[in-house]
Amino acid sequence: MCGERTITVNIGPPHTEAVGRYAFSSLRRMGGSVDQVLTAEDLTALDQLLDTDSPHSIARRDDLTVRTERTVWAARRT
């Protein structure tokens, strides 16, 4: 027996600090894998978003929206 479910998350403003931390962590994780395909200008923008001391830090944004989907499967032996 197997089941599948897609979970959709859409959190818009206003949001909690946890949403900012989630967005920060996601961008930081992504940063290492996209540095070869982004322009210098885009890399600078990404660095500013990830700089917690920058006024442009993603953690300081009040218009942040987080959207994601995850598909989960569950199975058991029959």
The predicted-structure confidence for 52-73, as pLDDT tens digits, reads as follows: 998 889 888 888 888 889 999 9
The answer to whether 61 and 20 are in contact (CB under 8 A) is yes
pLDDT of residue 51: 94
Share of the chain above pLDDT 90, in %: 33
Say how far apart CA 49 and CA 45 lie, in whole Å.
6
pLDDT of residue 16: 81
Which helix (H) or strand (E) segment holds residue 33: the answer is: helix 17-34
Strand, coil or helix: 48: helix
5 backbone dihedrals φ, ψ, rounded to 5°: -145, 140
- Predicted TM-score of the model (pTM): 0.67
Tokens of 29: 């994780």
